Amino acid sequence: MLSCTDAAPLIAVRADGSLLDEAAGARLDEHLAGCDGCRRALSDQQSVAAMLRARPLDPVSPQFAARLAERLDGRPGVLDLADWRVWTVRLAPVAAVLLLAASLLAGGAPAPLSLEEWAVSNAGSSSAASLLWDSEVTTDVVLETMVTGAGEASGGPGDVR
C-alpha cells in the first residue's frame, strides 16, 4: 500500500486529468479508499484545475513568447558572458589561491614593535611623534611640527616663541 508521500505525485497527475498506468492507478485507488486526507487533496486539486481551465486565455505578445522560448532553450546569449555572478563564483577559488600564495611568498608581516622600541627608532626623527618623547621640547614646537611638519628646522627643541 502507498504512503501519503508516495501518493502525492500520483494525485497531482490524476487531478491534472492525465491517465496513470494501470498498476499506478490501482495502487492510488487502493490508497484513496483508506485515506480521507488524500481524497480531500485530490478533490481540492481537481477543483483548482477545473477553475484554471475555465479561465479565458490572456493573449501573449510575440516578443515575450520569443524571449521566453530563448531562455527556456538554454542557449547562451552574448549577455551571458557578462554575467558577473557566474564570473564571481568561478573566480573566487582562483582569487583565494592567489591571496594565499602572495601571503606565503611575502614572508608575513614584520613583528610588532613595543612602545619603547618605536620611540628609540623615531628618536632621531623630526616628526611630532618623536618630539613627544623629548622632555626639552616645548608644546609650541610640537604643535608647529604637527601643523607644518618643520618644527626642528625653525629653531630646535629649545625654541620658545
Task: Answer whether 151's CB lies under 8 Å from 131's CB.
Answer: yes
What would the pLDDT profile of 57-108 be if each residue is shown by its tens digit?
888 888 888 888 877 776 666 656 666 666 677 777 888 888 888 877 776 5
Query: Cell numbers of 84, please?
Result: 558577473
Query: Cell numbers of 43, please?
Result: 478533490
What would the pLDDT profile of 18-58 be if each residue is shown by its tens digit?
888 999 999 999 999 999 999 999 999 999 989 888 888 88
pTM for this prediction: 0.38
Residue with cell string 538554454: 74
